[in-house]
Structure 1
Amino acid sequence: MSSGWSAFVIALAAFNILGCAWLLWWTSKRRPGDPKPEDTSHFWDGDITEYNKPMPRWWINGFYLAIAFGIGYLFWYGGLGSHPGISGWSSQGEHALDKVAADARLEETFRPYRDQPLPVLAKDPQALALGRSIFANTCATCHGSSAQGAIGYPNLTDDIWHWGGAPDQVLQTVLDGREGVMPPWGQVLTGMGGDNAVDYVVAYVRALGDPARMSNNFMAAQGRQLYDGVCVACHGKDGKGNTEMGAPDLTDDYWLYGSSRDALRKTIIDGRHGSMPAHRGLLGETRSRLVAAWVWSLSQQQQPAATGNGAGEGAP
């Protein structure tokens, strides 16, 4: 807090305290010429009279004690701007103490799972329960409560992994994150093959997973030449992708950003940038290991690969 704001807070606190004390003193005293408490001339039902008697002294003194307590509280706990209190207490320090205690309890809970391999954790129901709870608190925002993802957010329940589905690869994804970048190729392809170049590549990519589409397909044939000149470096000659780069397999029935012609055109023209945040600093290694074990266990259930959207673990 700056010195100016600190002075403002101190002045505001002093004004309110002194104002309350003055108001209490001013309204509790009687002055010469004031009517007697019984002389209000307010009557109801003939025998009910309104009086104007001063508050009892014990009640007024109670207010003065409350004001004195408030002044002491401000000095003791540091309520006057940026000036620390006499006791040295601060909300930041209180939070730090609570965090230390909570971290100690968490450490005790997670100690049995430290450095355990993912396949071992995946066989432990208690470890999986902890991993699922961590996932719900941390990962469900992007991947959904059922881990089935959405457009642009991978489905974690299938067996498709853009960065590799081995236990160590899944753990690395959770710990260190991933950055999957698909460069924009619209202008490059147009320069190579004219205005229809992007449509040619879309036709070829959509035909990769279905050889029947290749036969007598002029657009796919034109797209293959363009693909071999631009896309093959990441996705491979056969379109199977590259897990070292996060380049997806183009021959399966899974599309992170959708399989429609418009979706594929946008991907090729504008590119994509998928970011999986690193969770090492947020969760620590043991909790990251638990959530990775739970996620990895989902892919071991041999569920059919999802279509349309969701899969892999964090990049286009």
Structure 2
Amino acid sequence: MSTFWSIWVSVIVLGTIFGCWWLLLATRKSQTTDTETDRTTGHSFDGIEELDNPLPKWWFYLFIATCVFSLGYLALYPGLGNFKGLLGWTSYNQWEAEVQQAEARYGELYAEFGDTPVVELAENEDAMKMGQRLFANNCSVCHGSAGRGSLGFPNLTDDDWLYGGEPENILTTLRQGRNGNMPAKGMMPNMTSDQVDQVVNYVLSFSDRAKDPEAAKAGEAVFAQACSACHGSDGKGNQAMGAPNLTDDTWLYGSTYGWIKETVMNGRQNQMPAQGERLSEDQIQILAAYVYSLSN
């Protein structure tokens, strides 16, 4: 936060607190008496008159105590722009402390399964209950609570894997993450609009869905130049590179003419964040077993 906005926020916060304080004291002083009275303020509505009575003392002092508490809180914790508070508390530090407590408490439970092979672990009911919770907390926001994915996020319950679905592939993905990059127009940045149409039709021809057979025939040469380096000459992909198979019915970004054309024209970039720094090796082992179990 810049210095200007830090001062702006601080002025608004402190101004509000001291404004409330002044309002309480000013209202208190304007009272004609410190006890209940029959004198009215001159306001009346529907035959009901407003008496000029002061706030009950306990209520007045409670408001004052609230203002004092607010100032004390802002002195100890963040709340005034860039001022970090005398205690130096941050939400990140709080999270780290809670994670350390959780690791101390549950670390032994995770360690029970950490040395068990993924395939064997996938058949352990207790381990899978733990894996499901790890998945819900760390993976479901992208892949869905059931692991079925959505547009741009892979389905983990089928047998179509960009980088391979064997235990070691899944462990590597979890530890290191993945960075997918489909360059715009592939390896042929000077591709014309006609060539885009041709290569899209050629890709659709893998599943007998080409709109224009003649364009699809011409697109074979374009595909060989722009796409085959990653997807292979037969379009069946390359798991070592994360290049998808274009001949099946599993598509990460949609398989219609429009979706494929957009992919060719603009490219695709996606990222599977690494979990190696967030989860322990035992947790990754259990999580990998759970993901493996979804498609096995």
Deviations 1:60-95 (A, max 9, x none): 4x568657866875676564855956xx59575766
Cα distance, 1:171–1:26 mapped onto 2, change above 3 Å: same
Distance 2:190 2:89 in 1: 63
2:201 to 203, 221, 232: 203
Distance 1:201 1:21 in 2: 77
Aligned pairs for 1:185-196 (under 5 A) are 185=185, 188=188, 191=191, 196=194
- Is it true that 1:118 corresponds to 2:118 in the alignment? yes
- Is it true that 1:298 corresponds to 2:294 in the alignment? yes
Distance 1:89 1:177 in 2: 33
Distance 2:39 2:257 in 1: 91
| Secondary structure of the corresponding residue to residue 127 of structure 1 | helix
Deviations 1:180-226 (A, max 9, x none): 111121894875xx65323332333233456xx99xx6444322222
1:20 to 24, 27, 33: 24
| Secondary structure of the corresponding residue to residue 149 of structure 2 | coil
- What is residue 178 of structure 2 aligned with on the other side? 178
1:271 to 267, 274, 277: 267
Distance 2:68 2:229 in 1: 72
Higher Rg: 1
Cα distance, 1:10–1:186 mapped onto 2, change above 3 Å: closer
- State the Cα distance separating 1:242 from its structure 2 match: 1.1
2:254 to 253, 258, 265: 258
Report the residue type matching 2:196 in the other structure: V
- State the Cα distance separating 1:179 from its structure 2 match: 1.5
Aligned pairs for 1:206-217 (under 5 A) are 206-208=204-206
- State the Cα distance separating 1:161 from its structure 2 match: 0.8
Normalised by the length of structure 1, the TM-score is 0.67
| Secondary structure of the corresponding residue to residue 180 of structure 1 | strand
Cα distance, 1:28–1:177 mapped onto 2, change above 3 Å: farther
Cα distance, 1:77–1:28 mapped onto 2, change above 3 Å: farther
- Is it true that 1:230 corresponds to 2:226 in the alignment? yes
Distance 1:11 1:199 in 2: 63
Distance 2:84 2:187 in 1: 61
- Is it true that 1:289 corresponds to 2:285 in the alignment? yes
Distance 2:20 2:164 in 1: 64
- What is residue 44 of structure 1 aligned with on the other side? none
Identity over the aligned pairs, expressed in percent?
33
Aligned alpha-carbon RMSD (Å)? 4.1
| Secondary structure of the corresponding residue to residue 159 of structure 2 | coil
Report the residue type matching 1:257 in the other structure: Y
Distance 2:39 2:206 in 1: 102
Q: Which has the higher contact order (CA 8 A, sep 6+)?
A: 1
Deviations 1:95-123 (A, max 9, x none): 66555433433434423233543223212
Report the residue type matching 1:273 in the other structure: Q
Aligned pairs for 1:72-91 (under 5 A) are 73=69, 79=75, 82=83
Normalised by the length of structure 2, the TM-score is 0.71
Distance 1:84 1:196 in 2: 62
Distance 1:89 1:198 in 2: 57
Whether the 8 Å CA contact 2:118–2:167 is kept in 1: the answer is yes
- What is residue 306 of structure 1 aligned with on the other side? none
Distance 1:294 1:261 in 2: 35
Whether the 8 Å CA contact 1:21–1:67 is kept in 2: the answer is no
- State the Cα distance separating 1:134 from its structure 2 match: 2.2
- What is residue 140 of structure 1 aligned with on the other side? 140
- State the Cα distance separating 1:157 from its structure 2 match: 0.8
Whether the 8 Å CA contact 1:190–1:197 is kept in 2: the answer is no
- Is it true that 1:166 corresponds to 2:172 in the alignment? no
Instruction: Give structure 1 stretches of 5+ with no counterpart.
Output: 41-49, 301-316
- What is residue 149 of structure 2 aligned with on the other side? 149
Cα distance, 1:39–1:258 mapped onto 2, change above 3 Å: closer
Instruction: Give structure 2 stretches of 5+ with no counterpart.
Output: 41-48
Whether the 8 Å CA contact 2:34–2:54 is kept in 1: the answer is no
Distance 2:227 2:154 in 1: 22
Whether the 8 Å CA contact 2:24–2:60 is kept in 1: the answer is no
